[in-house]
């Protein structure tokens, strides 16, 4: 049967279009129930004995939620307890239209077999399709469609079970819909009513989202915030320049301050400062907001005070007279970017209370008020909470409990938390993804042999850190008959296994990178590839992408050649093993000779690179010795660099630069490259000031000048000084990023002093390398191209995702180190240690303890005690506390211990013992991410 | 126009017949042929009608679009006509053959319909001087068997009756920026008042008498014809003489009177029919092009 759907639409140019679509109705849409014999469904989804114990519905029943229930109570629906749910097509469509994340979640739930969720395409069913009637709004029509479908199910099931017990229950929170449904003879409950009736599952109650009318009773009637403007006003305001649109970034250190980054091109102002709760006006970190600028005379400077939302005082941060920034206030929210947040419950003082404050782990997120009956059980647990809304009369947003992640401080729980908080996709790979893996047992075929260079005879070996299972690079070096040297870098040919566009490829593209945490690795590609088929292990035949140079003994490249190949690695060495072979003059085998050749060339290459102005920077990195049984850290040591580390790195750089040049020559518009912009001169201010304090000059006009002056900057009797300077210099740098060559004109890599650079050498753990592999394969006619590869806009979008994932991976990694540091100190007790002052702030000093790579702030103003007399000099910068003046790089002594008294945020507490004995403490936070982003290690 | 070969003897036969109020197909001089009308036949127009008058088949579609009012009449919308002479109608229309006729037809239609006495053009105004509805009336000739004007005019009246224009709300913010909003309810729409829309009656002078709704053979016998547009009250809104021959004042008067009489008699059953069709609503069995 054919129907037509008609609607009018306004076009962009202001015209009006009438659109008519054909709509077919069918009589072969099955109900999906096991009970029904008439519907010829081969694999019915809904169970015959659909039992959830409830005092309201004692009979087996299926649930039909309406659109708003799905949208708001998705957390409930996701609970494994809720099964046998019929999701109507109209509901699904509306959800899709209104919220993409919820749509994805409900789709996932539908796909999960255990949940027995069934999608009923009511809009195409002959008996459940309805046409909109005169005077009926679109929403009313959809509600009616839901009721008609529910009625159809009721009658259909009654017929099939001969008036038996199986029923359908409609869930809706809409009062008028509920009344109409009751008149229509349906069993209908409010979601809350139904969930409350479930026997033996009180914890589900907490996951109910709060409805607006519930929220009123929670808070007083006092209006705390100005009203948000409606979207239409905001849009016209943005159009005529009254408001600016941007993404809100809360300040981590000061909850009363935030910034809005204006992301429109051609705007003079790209950053607006917001101060005070009123002006922040309920914006939450990452929301897209509209801001109104204040007149220039009201502009203020960002405060350099560290202010935590621990205390109840809501005073505004004190104002500063230096350099005022554009300041404004939030007038409306364009798009909320709320996600479920991890954190902990701060139990209410009143014992019986059900309303509690939740403190998110991310300090940029405000505390959230939730309602729960199981507060006592949740204390000390890491939980997840979603925000439901933020009424204008409430100091805090309202939310609901989503799930319990486990007890705080527990290794598993904390790892889960930091993965969630850093948005690292870490679920196991789905069946769809795994289906694209090669079938085992896998072997090299005749065809591979035909199209690839056979390099199995070459003496190829890999050099990696100990315990590495995803080996993606191998090297060889041999003397040619003409006296020149042949050097080859062979990279795992991941793009052979991951074909463009399939689920495996999409998953890898979305993950972007493998994330290495302490004692745990979150793979970008399934383990079969990462640790087996792609990993270039020794004595097995593997597919590789080779970059082979002919060089003379001065390491000058005479010829470069790229080919897909087959190799057979002769040895998988660790850095230490390789070093031993090189140093042991008695060893004369091929591998060792090859290594020595490589090492010699690498030294020449490195020398040349440094002469060009490449920077050697430093960041305090530590490595834990993990107990193999308990997986607890037992000792930690700074990462030690051997000659062989630098040898491997040198050749990887060379391969990356060669490949970058090659793909850029072939595809000037769509080559995926990596750049490292030179930092703005003002970034170096702190470095120059710091060096001045020791009567040294740092030149920052060019990378070369900086490298040279860093090399010369040494202070007698202070060997660590140079490292400190380098750590500081690292903090001045910009982040290196991927970009698409067609979208940018500045290709320079500042840190490596190379005009062009890309990532080619780690395709197992970085998606960018896979794209580069594909580009290179097309360039040498080894593979075919596909449209997305040549689309600079698509590639640019991919780059954005990769940059984001890399940044988050880095943060997650650091958070993991921080957590393990805490575990370490938990076992160690109290230690006295030496440290250096890294920065001096207005009310605090930041101290670095090289031995543990620890960094934290000492606050001198303490809210409990009268603060000592402080005077801050921004020129030095120095901070005078009572009698003592703290300067940058001063050596101090501290005592370190784990402060587990506040399980909310476990801290490493460090008290200053020399030169000034104070009770103030240094805090090393569990999640510290914004300060000092070190340059990504190039290799 | 489509030519038929009529011999002298046939012509005499037809003329003699007309003189005795007896036409070739048995009709009287002021009788129309059998007429079939169906509205709402093309779903993606805002209003449409198909008419068959004898073997003359005409399809009319009305599309409403938002445009700018003409500067002379800022508070009125307007109509635009386009007549497409399909080569299906007659082989003569092949290529650019039908263009001349099409232009002639559309010019005439423009004169007849696009004035505030025929259609309430004020109701088409959205925002004076800025936006108004423009009704694009597209006429498609599917088959030609004489008396195109009458058939087209009746089809246009039916199509305008059927036209539903989406309601537009103008909202204004404090800066005076106007924003148009479309109602999302497909039933929330504006109808046109077609009461005063005239129909064209073409009278062909044959011998000393005149006939309405001439067939092609009759047309071949006529040297001149008079096109009269008449409203339901019998008011003549437009008169046009077509053809090479001349008409004496007396016969013009006679023909006008006859036209008024016939036209008046045409309107009442047409409106009745249209209303009856509409009252059937969704239950109506659509015939479309298969009928």
Q: What is the pLDDT along chain B (291 residues), one digit of tens a residue?
A: 446 788 999 999 999 999 999 998 899 999 999 999 999 888 889 999 999 998 899 999 999 988 899 999 899 999 999 999 888 888 888 888 888 889 999 999 998 988 888 888 999 998 888 889 999 999 999 988 889 999 999 999 999 999 998 888 887 766 666 777 777 777 778 888 888 899 999 999 998 899 999 998 898 889 899 999 999 998 999 999 988 888 889 999 999 999 999 999 999 999 999 999 888 877 778 777 766
Burial class (CB in 10 A: 0-12, 13-18, 19+), A619: middle
Residues 119-148 (B) with a CB less than 8 A from some CB of A: none
State the residue for tokens 């109701």: B123
Same domain, A478 and A331: no
Collect all residues of chain A within an 8 Å Cβ-Cβ radius of residue B175.
236, 240
Burial class (CB in 10 A: 0-12, 13-18, 19+), A630: exposed
Rounded Cα distance, A528 and A438, in Å: 9
Is A930 in a helix, a strand, or coil? coil
Collect all residues of chain B within an 8 Å Cβ-Cβ radius of residue A232.
173, 179
Q: Does B185 touch chain A (CB under 8 A)?
A: yes
Lookup: tokens for B73: 């009449």
Q: Which of A7, A10, A18 to mutate to test the interface with B (most CBs of B within 10 A)?
A: A18
Cα distances (Å, whole numbers) of residue B282 to A3, A133, B40: 11, 11, 11
Residue A10 lies in a domain: no
Residues 6+ apart with CB under 8 A from A744: A675
Burial class (CB in 10 A: 0-12, 13-18, 19+), A538: middle
Q: Can you give the residue range of the structural domain that contains A852?
A: 829-914
Same domain, A649 and A703: no
Is A462 in a helix, a strand, or coil? strand
Q: Does A138 touch chain B (CB under 8 A)?
A: yes
Going through chain B in order, the beta strands assigned E by DSSP cover 35-39, 47-53, 56-67, 78-85, 125-127, 131-143, 164-166, 168-172, 178-182, 189-191, 199-206, 209-212, 225-230, 236-242
Same domain, A69 and A174: yes
Same domain, A669 and A688: no
* Beta carbons of A249 and A427 less than 8 angstroms apart: no
Same domain, A330 and A345: no
Residue A439 lies in a domain: yes
Same domain, A503 and A647: yes
Rounded Cα distance, B193 and A243, in Å: 46
CATH at A106:
3.40.50.1010
Residue A224 lies in a domain: no
> pTM above the 0.80 mark?
no
Q: Which of B64, B186, B281 to mutate to test the interface with A (most CBs of A within 10 A)?
A: B186
Collect all residues of chain B within an 8 Å Cβ-Cβ radius of residue A20.
43-44
The crossing angle, in degrees rounded to 10, of helices B249-280 and B148-162 is: 40
Please list the residues that pair with A386 across neighbouring strands.
Answer: A400
The residue extents of the domains of chain B are 8-283
**Phi and psi, residue A453, nearest 5°:** -75, 135
Residue A420 lies in a domain: no
- Nearest Cα neighbor of A747 from A876, A870, A628, A660 is A660
Q: Which of A14, A16, A130, A234 to mutate to test the interface with B (most CBs of B within 10 A)?
A: A16
CATH at A377:
2.40.50.700
The pairs formed by A28-32 with CB atoms below 8 angstroms and a separation of 24 or more are: A29/A120, A29/A121, A29/A124, A29/A125, A31/A120, A31/A153, A31/A156, A31/A157, A32/A86, A32/A118, A32/A120
Same domain, A241 and A348: no
Sheet with A884-886: list strands edge to edge.
A870-873, A878-881, A884-886
Same domain, A667 and A804: yes
Collect all residues of chain A within an 8 Å Cβ-Cβ radius of residue B184.
7, 137-138
Same domain, A393 and A535: no
Q: Does B207 touch chain A (CB under 8 A)?
A: no
Residues 6+ apart with CB under 8 A from A853: A620, A621, A622, A638, A817, A821
* Beta carbons of B133 and B189 less than 8 angstroms apart: no
Phi-psi domain of A263 (left: phi exceeds 0; alpha: psi -120 through 50; beta: other)? alpha
Maximum Cα–Cα distance across chain B: 79
CB contact under 8 A, A20 and B44: yes
The pLDDT of residue B176: 65
Rounded Cα distance, A443 and A888, in Å: 60
Lookup: tokens for A498: 């991951």
The pLDDT of residue A91: 92
Collect all residues of chain B within an 8 Å Cβ-Cβ radius of residue A231.
none
The pLDDT of residue A932: 32
Please list the residues that pair with A891 across neighbouring strands.
Answer: A836
Rounded Cα distance, A769 and A495, in Å: 9
CB contact under 8 A, B44 and A138: no
How many beta carbons lie within 10 A of that of residue A838, not counting itself? Answer: 23
CB contact under 8 A, B182 and A14: no
Gap from B127 CA to chain A (nearest CA, Å) = 14
Residues 16-75 (B) with a CB less than 8 A from some CB of A: 43-46, 63-66
- Nearest Cα neighbor of A758 from A358, A483, A491, A394 is A491
Tally of structural domains, chain A: 6
Extract the residue ranges of chain A whose pLDDT is less than 70: 1-2, 4, 12-14, 163-164, 210-223, 264-268, 303-323, 348-353, 617-641, 861-869, 875-876, 882, 899-907, 914-939
Same domain, A354 and A475: no
Can you count the helices (H) and strands (E) in chain A?
A: 26, 39
Same domain, A325 and A346: no
Provide the ipTM: 0.72
Looking at domain B8-283, its CATH class is alpha beta
Distance of CA B139 to the CA centre of its chain: 9
State the residue for tokens 């486990």: A406
């Amino acid at each position: 049967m054919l129907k037509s759907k008609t609607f009018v639409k306004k076009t962009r140019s202001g015209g009006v279009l009438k659109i008519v679509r054909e709509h077919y109705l069918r009589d072969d849409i099955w109900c999906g129930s096991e009970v029904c014999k008439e519907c010829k469904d081969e694999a019915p989804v809904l169970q015959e004995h659909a039992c959830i114990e409830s005092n309201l519905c004692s009979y087996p029943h299926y649930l039909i939620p309406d659109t708003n229930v799905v949208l708001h109570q998705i957390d409930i629906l996701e609970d494994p307890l809720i099964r046998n749910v019929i999701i109507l097509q109209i509901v699904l469509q509306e959800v899709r239209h209104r919220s993409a994340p919820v749509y994805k979640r409900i789709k996932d739930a539908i796909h999960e077999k255990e949940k027995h969720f069934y999608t009923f395409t009511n809009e195409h069913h002959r008996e459940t399709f309805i046409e909109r009637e005169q005077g009926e709004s679109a929403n009313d029509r959809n509600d009616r469609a839901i009721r008609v479908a529910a009625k159809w199910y009721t009658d259909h099931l009654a017929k099939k079970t001969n008036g038996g017990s199986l029923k359908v229950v409609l869930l809706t929170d809409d009062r008028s819909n509920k009344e109409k449904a009751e008149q229509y003879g349906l069993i209908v409950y409010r979601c809350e009513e139904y969930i409350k009736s479930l026997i033996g599952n009180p914890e589900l109650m907490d996951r109910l989202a709060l409805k607006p009318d519930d929220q009123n009773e929670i808070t007083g009637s006092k209006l705390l915030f100005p009203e948000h403007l409606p979207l239409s006003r905001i849009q016209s305001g943005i159009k005529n320049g009254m408001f600016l649109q941007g993404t809100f970034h809360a300040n981590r250190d000061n909850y009363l301050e935030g910034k809005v980054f204006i992301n429109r091109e051609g705007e003079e102002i790209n950053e607006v400062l917001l101060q005070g709760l009123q002006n922040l006006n309920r914006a939450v970190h990452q929301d897209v907001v509209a801001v109104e600028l204040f007149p220039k005379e009201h502009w203020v400077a960002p405060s350099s005070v560290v202010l935590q939302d621990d205390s109840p005082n809501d005073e505004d941060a004190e104002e500063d007279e230096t350099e005022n920034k554009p300041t404004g206030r939030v007038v409306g929210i364009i798009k909320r970017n709320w996600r479920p947040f991890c954190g902990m419950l701060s139990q209410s003082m009143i014992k019986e209370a059900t309303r509690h404050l939740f403190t998110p782990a991310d300090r940029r997120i405000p505390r959230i008020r939730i309602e729960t009956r199981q507060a006592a059980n949740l204390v000390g647990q890491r939980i997840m909470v979603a925000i439901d809304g933020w009424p204008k009369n409430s100091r805090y947003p309202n939310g609901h409990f989503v799930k319990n992640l486990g007890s705080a401080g527990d290794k598993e729980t904390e790892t889960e938390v930091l993965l969630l908080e850093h948005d690292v996709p870490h679920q196991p790979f789905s069946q769809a993804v795994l289906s694209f893996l090669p079938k085992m047992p896998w072997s090299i075929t005749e065809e591979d042999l035909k199209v690839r260079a056979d390099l199995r005879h070459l003496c190829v070996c890999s050099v990696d850190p100990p315990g590495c299972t995803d080996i993606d690079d191998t090297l060889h070096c041999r003397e040619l008959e003409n006296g020149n040297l042949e050097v080859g870098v062979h990279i795992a040919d991941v793009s052979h296994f991951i074909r463009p566009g399939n689920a495996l490829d999409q998953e890898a593209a979305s993950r972007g990178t493998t994330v290495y945490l302490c004692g745990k690795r979150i793979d970008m590609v399934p383990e079969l590839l990462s640790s087996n088929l792609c990993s270039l292990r020794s004595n097995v035949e593997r597919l590789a992408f080779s970059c082979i140079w002919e060089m003379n003994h001065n390491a000058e490249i005479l010829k470069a050649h790229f080919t897909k190949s087959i190799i057979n690695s002769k040895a998988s060495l660790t850095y230490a093993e390789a070093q031993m072979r090189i140093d042991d003059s008695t060893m004369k085998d091929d591998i060792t000779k090859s290594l020595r050749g490589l090492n010699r060339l690498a030294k020449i290459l490195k020398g040349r690179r440094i002469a060009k102005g490449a920077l050697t920077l430093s960041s305090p990195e530590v490595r834990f010795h993990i107990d193999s049984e308990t997986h607890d850290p037992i000792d930690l040591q700074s990462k030690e660099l051997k000659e062989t580390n630098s040898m491997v790195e040198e050749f990887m750089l060379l391969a990356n630069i060669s490949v970058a040049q090659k793909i850029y020559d072939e595809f000037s518009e769509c080559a995926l490259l990596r750049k490292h912009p030179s930092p703005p001169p003002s970034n170096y201010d702190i470095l120059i000031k710091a060096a001045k304090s020791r009567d040294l000059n740092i030149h920052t006009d060019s990378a070369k000048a900086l490298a040279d002056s860093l090399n010369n900057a040494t202070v007698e009797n202070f060997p660590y000084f140079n490292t400190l300077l380098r750590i500081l210099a690292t903090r001045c740098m910009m982040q290196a990023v991927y970009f698409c060559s067609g979208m940018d004109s500045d290709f320079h890599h500042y840190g490596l002093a190379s005009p062009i650079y890309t990532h080619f050498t780690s395709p197992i753990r970085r998606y960018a390398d896979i794209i580069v592999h594909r580009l290179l394969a097309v360039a040498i006619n080894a593979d075919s191209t596909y449209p997305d590869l040549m689309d600079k806009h698509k590639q640019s979008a991919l780059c954005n995702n990769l940059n984001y994932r890399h940044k988050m991976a880095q943060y997650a990694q650091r958070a993991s180190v921080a957590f393990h540091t805490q575990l370490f100190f938990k076992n160690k007790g109290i230690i006295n240690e030496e440290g250096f002052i890294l920065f001096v702030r207005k009310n605090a000093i930041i101290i670095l303890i090289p031995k543990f790579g620890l960094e934290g702030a000492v606050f001198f103003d303490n809210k409990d005690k009268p603060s000592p007399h402080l005077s801050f000099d921004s020129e030095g910068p120095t901070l005078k506390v009572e009698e003592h003046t703290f300067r940058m790089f001063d050596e101090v002594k501290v005592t370190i211990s784990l402060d587990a008294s506040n399980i909310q945020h476990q801290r490493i507490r460090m008290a200053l013992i020399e030169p000034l004995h104070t009770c103030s403490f240094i805090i090393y936070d569990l999640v510290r991410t914004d300060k000092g982003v070190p340059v990504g290690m190039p290799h | 126009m489509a030519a038929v070969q009529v011999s002298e003897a046939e012509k005499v036969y037809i003329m003699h017949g007309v003189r005795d109020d007896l036409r070739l197909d048995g009709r009287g001089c002021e009788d129309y042929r059998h007429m079939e009308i169906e509205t709402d036949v093309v779903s993606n127009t805002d209003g449409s009608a198909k008419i068959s008058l004898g073997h003359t088949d005409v399809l009319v579609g009305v599309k409403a679009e938002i445009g700018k009012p003409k500067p002379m009449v800022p508070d009125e919308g307007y109509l635009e006509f386009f007549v497409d002479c399909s080569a299906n109608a007659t082989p003569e229309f092949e290529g650019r053959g039908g263009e001349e006729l099409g232009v002639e037809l559309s010019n005439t239609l423009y004169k007849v319909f696009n004035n505030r006495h025929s259609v309430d053009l004020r109701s088409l105004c959205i925002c004076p001087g800025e936006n108004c509805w423009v009704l694009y009336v597209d006429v498609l000739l599917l088959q030609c068997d004489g008396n195109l004007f009458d058939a087209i005019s009746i089809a246009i009246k039916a199509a305008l009756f059927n036209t539903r224009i989406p309601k537009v709300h103008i909202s204004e913010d404090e800066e005076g920026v106007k924003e148009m909003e479309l109602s999302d309810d497909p039933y929330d729409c504006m109808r046109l008042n077609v009461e005063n829309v005239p129909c064209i009656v073409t009278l062909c002078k044959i011998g000393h008498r005149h006939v309405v709704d001439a067939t092609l053979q009759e047309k071949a016998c006529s040297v001149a014809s008079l096109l009269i547009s008449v409203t339901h009250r019998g008011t003549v809104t437009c008169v046009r003489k077509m053809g090479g021959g001349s008409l004496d004042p007396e016969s013009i008067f006679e023909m006008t009177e006859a036209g008024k009489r016939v036209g008046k008699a045409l309107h009442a059953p047409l409106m009745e029919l249209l209303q009856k069709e509409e009252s059937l609503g969704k239950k109506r069995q659509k015939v479309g092009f298969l009928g």
